Amino acid sequence: MSEPLLSLRDVTAEVDGVNESPSLIHRVSFDVTALKIVALVGGSGSGKTTTGLSILRLLPVALRITSGKILFHGEDLFALPGHRMRQIRGKDISMIFQEPLNALNPLLTIGQQINEVLICHMPLTAKQRRERVLELLNIVGMAEPQRVAQNYPHQLSGGMRQRAMIAQAIAANPQLMIADEPTSSLDVTLQAKIMDLFRELRRSLNLSILLITHDLGMVRHLADEVVVLQAGKIVEQGPVARVLESPRHQYTQQLISSVF
Amino acid sequence: MLLELKNVTKDYPIKKFIFGQKGRVRAVDNVSLTLSSGENLSLVGESGCGKTTLARIILKLIPPTSGTICFGGRDLNPLSARQMNPFRRHMQMVFQDPYDSLDPRYTIRRTLKEALHLDQTLVKQTKAQEERIQHVLRSVKLPEMMLSRYPHELSGGERQRVAIARALMMNPKLVILDEAVSSLDVLIQRQIIDLLGDLQKTFHLTYLFISHNLKIARAVSHQIAVMYQGKIIEIAPTEELFRNPLHPYTQELLAAAVDYQAVESKQHPINPTGQLVDKGQGHLIFM
């Protein structure tokens, strides 16, 4: 088997400066192999987002990784100097968030925000960048890329904002996208469309996705592998079909039976 | 009949800045509905279809452009704000995001107590008030120590329980739940839906449940009404709708909610002179 794209090994995160604080995530280990969609599931507070943020070294200052390694192409992300990490963030690994209205800058147009990513990570001329912005908006299924590029986030609907954020996340051709509850704030018809877009992006851009969600219905229809977190610990992991058809752990069973 | 809506329509004026033209957008279009006591109804549809506007009209938080709303046989339209007061205690609303709908500077006790102000006879009856608070708090399965806490100290599920408790303080007949579980994770969603079922029995409630998710609507309602562009385009008993969705938009919603399948999005043209046609077994479709 080929080397995994991303491996977490015994990653533990704690609140900094508090003795004997319970760890937020405890010895979390899993792999994301190329072209796979891996789902990280659990109830609120189970450590899903903490895990996602720790991969990009974006944890709030009060939280600290106390042990473990995160390897990206075999390189330990924690050992990298800050400027090297900034090259990876947004370029090789990007992230999208649950609420695009909070994640997008209200003062910049969609086009400007995507352009920012291109300036940081791509050796393109201004003209090429303009074309690339429109191309990206087209890839994520925007009907009128020209107009959307000039719009501010508040002028777009929820579904379009989410697409704009995805366009930003794939702007620099990343290998891995971390999607933190990408559809929770959308209604069901839009959810299904965003899931379709993810499948499409994986195929056309060779993208691997780490999908953070609590919706096992979505996992069943989208992901290849699933990692179940409860209170910061992995309680079950494996291929989606096996885990969802015959869950071993009581918490996984509970999650499955909660899906309407 | 607990609640009866007849031909309710709501227009909002819009200004088009470019040409300075005035127009209007019809948020709710000629909606007629009836709710019997104990018979929960779900309003289902995508964002922007007019579900929440309709809920606000029912509570008389905004006036309809035309149409009548009867609650317990009384037409609410001509009532003044003061005359409306005795009705308010019978109709309560729970909102999507309990973090926004609870006052961050009020303790839970004060939030619950404030709801009792609608009842003049309880003023200064501190003991009766406290008993009521304790009783409702137990009913939503929250421990007593929650009373001295503030909303930020509570989890999302606990906050939504407080919002439900506040709605129940005055013993309402109708509770409107506007996307009340959408912001919660699946485990908590399931708990809250189960709780709503228990509360319906203890408090003899009727729910008007607003959601974009047909699967969740199925778990709480006897009837489901599907809204599209301000109109009710299909209404049927819950299981009948799942067995036999007639309108293409309903089929699209079902595919998305149940099978996570995106149907190639189509505009569903609405016949301007159309109306709801009875297909038998209480199943009505707009055509």
CB contact burial A119-145 (16+ within 10 A = b; e otherwise):
eebeeeeeeebeebbbebbebbbbeeb
Tell me whether residues B188 and A44 touch, CB distance under 8 A: yes
Q: Is A143 on the interface with B (CB under 8 A)?
A: no
3-state DSSP assignment of residue B95 = coil
Residue with tokens 């752990």: A249
CB A40: neighbour CB atoms within 10 A? 30
Residues of A in contact with B159 (CB under 8 A): none
Is B20's pLDDT higher than 70?
Answer: no
- Choose the mutation target among B186, B209, B215 for the interface with A, i.e. most A CBs under 10 Å: B186
Q: Hunting for tokens 């109830």 — which residue is that?
A: A43
The whole-angstrom separation of Cα A145 and Cα A233 is 43
pLDDT at position B21 is 65
H or E element in which residue B47 lies: none
Angle at B19 between CA B14 and CA B23, to 5 degrees: 25
Residue of B nearest to A189 (CA): B256
Q: What share of chain B is helix, strand, coil (3-state, %, to 5)?
A: 40, 25, 35
Mean residue pLDDT of chain A comes to: 92
For residues B53 and B65, what is the distance between their CA atoms, to the nearest angstrom?
12
Q: What is the pLDDT of residues B255-283, one digit of tens each?
A: 888 888 877 666 787 777 788 888 888 89
* Cβ-Cβ contacts under 8 Å for A216 (sequence gap 6 or more): A41, A244, A255, A256, A259, B186
Give φ, ψ of A245 to 5 degrees: -75, -40
Q: Are B129 and B113 in contact (CB under 8 A)?
A: yes
Give CA–CA dist B103/A79, Å, rounded. 45
Domains in chain A with CATH codes? 1-92+176-260 (3.40.50.300), 102-173 (no CATH)
Q: Identify all chain A residues contacting B218, using CB atoms and an 8 Å cutoff.
A: 260
Contact B262 A260 (CB under 8 A): no
Interchain CB distance below 8 Å, A216 and B186: yes
Dihedral sign for Cα atoms in the order A148, A152, A156, A161: positive
Q: Which two tokens stand for residue A152?
A: 């501010």
Most confident residue range from A215-219, B12-16, B108-112, B115-119:
B108-112
Phi, psi of A179 (to 5 degrees): -110, 105
C-alpha B151 chain-centroid distance? 22
For residues B62 and B183, what is the distance between their CA atoms, to the nearest angstrom? 25
Average pLDDT over all residues of chain B = 90
With contacts defined as CB-CB under 8 Å, which chain B residues touch A142? none
- For residue B29, give the nearest of B46, B13, B51 by alpha carbon: B51
Q: Is the ipTM of this complex over 0.85?
A: no
Q: How far apart are CA A182 and CA A168, in angstroms?
A: 14
pLDDT digits (tens, 9 = 90+) for B30-52: 999 999 999 999 999 988 889 99
Q: Is the C-alpha dihedral spanning A202, A205, A208, A212 positive or negative?
A: negative
What integer pLDDT is reported at residue B265 of this predicted model? 62
**β-strand partners of A64:** A14
Assess contact for B222 and B274: CB atoms under 8 A. no
How far apart are the two ends of chain A, measured CA to CA in Å?
Answer: 37
Mean per-residue pLDDT for A12-19? Answer: 82
With a cut of 80, say whether residue B78 has pLDDT above it.
yes
- Tell me the average pLDDT across B173-190: 91
- In the sheet that holds B66-71, the strands lie side by side as B22-35, B3-15, B66-71, B74-75
pTM of structure: 0.85
> pLDDT (tens digit, 9 = 90+) per residue, A156-194?
988 899 999 999 999 999 999 999 999 887 888 888 889
Mean predicted confidence (pLDDT) in A100-121: 94
pLDDT confidence of residue A51:
95
> Token pair for residue A142?
């925007």
- Interface touch B216/A157, C-beta < 8 Å: no
A33 exposed, middle or buried (CB, 10 Å; 0-12, 13-18, 19+)? middle
Residue listed under structure tokens 């999302």: B156
Query: What pLDDT, on the 0 to 100 scale, is given for residue B13?
Result: 85
B130 min Cα distance to partner chain A (Å): 32
CB A194 within 8 A of CB A186: yes
Q: What is the pLDDT of residues B112-162, one digit of tens each?
A: 999 988 777 877 888 999 999 999 999 999 999 999 999 999 988 999 999
The CA distance from B79 to B61, in Å, is: 12
Chain A residues closer than 8 Å to B190 by CB:
257-258, 260
Torsion angles phi and psi, residue A64, rounded to 5: -140, 140
Determine the 3-state secondary structure of B264 from DSSP: coil
Instruction: Give the integer Cα–Cα distance in Å for A32 and B24.
Output: 51
C-beta atoms of A193 and B265 within 8 A:
yes
**Cβ contact B186–A192 (<8 Å):** no
Give the Cα separation of A28 and B17 in Å (integer). 54
Per cent of chain A over pLDDT 70 is 98
Count the alpha carbons within 13 Å of B120 in the hemisphere toward its beta carbon.
2
Q: Is A257 on the interface with B (CB under 8 A)?
A: yes
